[in-house]
């Protein structure tokens, strides 16, 4: 089956009742038929609700199919998914190489928690590519990627970094939220653990919090073991909503991408805009990598105002009416975020002509969204 068909049919166990969606089952205790069965090797998953019952099992199956993975762990948020992936990959003490464009809360975790494990976070230029081999040494325990960066949209050379890591025997983790597992498959490019916030594009309706981590082979076995060890759990109600969102993921991503590209091109011609940060535009610095590794675009991008400081950028965002002001993205509603307060760089200084504003294109009419942007910029 083609990808879009699999999105509709995977994770749908048709039962005798004929329901097209799995039933929501809420349970902490799951009774075993015997003591022998209770203590069987799979007992921890089958006979306690933390392991997940329907529809968690169906969602795992569907995400595994998306990544062609051997195991999918579900967590209560995107941040917890990335933390689970990092903790699975890291075996300290030593150092961890972290992309300088990493999602802010993940960066905070790396700065505050990794040192408690004896692991020093070392930040690298997201555009380093194969030259990351020069940073890898006998103390390197993990490499964290995010492509594109969720604020500044650098596209990383994922295969080159993954190859350098594999040569050195270092596990890799990627934040794959922007592609939603649909536009790029990091596992096929050599990454060990692909995490994403299902809250965003998979959920798609701004009504759930959930994350996932997918892996293959030995990495999948290690992921499953850590998932059980740390007691991660996802609500069956949220799993149901994530499955519902997964069915329309391809259509929503296509619409959001079209809208984002339309808005980006119009903003590019606006006199108050200095630069557009959208990997799908041919003038983006990493467009060639984007064309090579991604099958399409999502709807999240950013632009830089021309000579307008951070306070002025926030005034532009405050003047918007259709675009909501919020940290999330990937839902049906369009959002705007002034980003300058969030940007932290240590490997490479952030240099821009003015304030940075991130947009997430929702499903509204593009002309209405453009009128809102043009009025706010004016």
Q: Give catalytic residue positions.
A: 50, 103, 175, 200
Tally the residues of the chain.
Answer: 378
What contacts 172, CB < 8 A, 6 or more positions away? 89, 142, 143, 144, 145, 161, 162, 165, 190, 191, 192, 193
- Environment class of 338 (CB within 10 Å of its CB; exposed 0-12, middle 13-18, buried 19+): buried
Peptide bond into 148 cis (omega under 30): yes
Give CB contacts under 8 A, 24+ apart, made by 344-349. 344/104, 344/107, 345/100, 345/123, 346/100, 346/123, 347/100, 347/123, 347/124, 347/125, 348/100, 348/125
CB distance 356 to 348 below 8 Å: no
User: The tokens of 134 are what?
Assistant: 């020069």
CB distance 184 to 148 below 8 Å: no
Give CB contacts under 8 A, 24+ apart, made by 334-341. 334/359, 334/360, 334/361, 334/362, 334/364, 334/369, 335/359, 335/360, 335/362, 336/360, 338/310, 338/313, 338/314, 339/151, 339/302, 340/310, 340/313, 341/310
């Amino acid at each position: 089956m083609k990808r879009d068909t699999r999105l509709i049919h995977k994770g749908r166990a048709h039962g005798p009742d004929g329901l097209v969606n799995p039933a929501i089952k809420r349970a902490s205790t799951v009774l075993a038929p015997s003591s022998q069965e209770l203590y069987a090797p799979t007992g921890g998953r089958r006979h306690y609700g933390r392991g997940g019952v329907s529809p968690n099992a169906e969602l795992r199956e569907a995400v595994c199919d998306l990544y062609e993975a051997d195991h999918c762990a579900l967590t209560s948020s995107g941040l917890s998914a990335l933390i689970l992936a990092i903790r699975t990959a890291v075996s300290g003490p030593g150092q961890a190489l972290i992309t300088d464009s990493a999602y802010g809360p993940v960066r905070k975790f790396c700065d505050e928690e990794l040192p408690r494990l004896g692991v020093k976070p070392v930040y690298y230029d997201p555009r380093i590519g194969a030259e990351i081999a020069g940073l890898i040494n006998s103390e390197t325990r993990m490499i964290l990627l995010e492509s594109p960066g969720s604020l500044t949209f650098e596209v990383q050379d994922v295969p080159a970094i993954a190859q350098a890591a594999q040569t050195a025997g270092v596990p890799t983790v990627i934040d794959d939220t922007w592609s939603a597992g649909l536009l790029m498959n990091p596992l096929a490019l050599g990454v060990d653990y692909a995490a994403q916030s299902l809250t965003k594009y998979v959920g798609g309706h701004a009504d759930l919090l959930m994350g996932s981590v997918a892996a293959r082979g030995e990495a999948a076995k290690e992921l499953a073991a850590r998932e059980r060890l740390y007691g991660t759990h996802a609500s069956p109600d949220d799993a149901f909503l994530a499955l519902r969102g997964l069915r329309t993921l391809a259509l929503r991503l296509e619409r959001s991408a079209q809208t984002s590209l339309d808005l980006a091109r119009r903003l590019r011609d606006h006199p108050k805009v200095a630069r557009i940060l959208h990997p799908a535009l041919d003038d983006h610095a990493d467009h060639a990598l984007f064309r090579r590794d991604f099958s399409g675009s999502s709807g999240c991008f950013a632009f830089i105002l021309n000579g307008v400081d951070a306070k002025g950028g926030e005034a532009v965002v405050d003047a918007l009416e259709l675009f909501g002001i919020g940290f999330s993205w990937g839902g049906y509603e369009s959002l705007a975020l002034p980003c300058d307060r969030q940007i932290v760089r240590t490997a490479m200084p952030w240099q821009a002509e003015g304030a940075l504003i991130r947009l997430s294109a929702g499903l509204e009419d593009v002309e209405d969204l453009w009128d809102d942007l043009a009025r706010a910029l004016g």
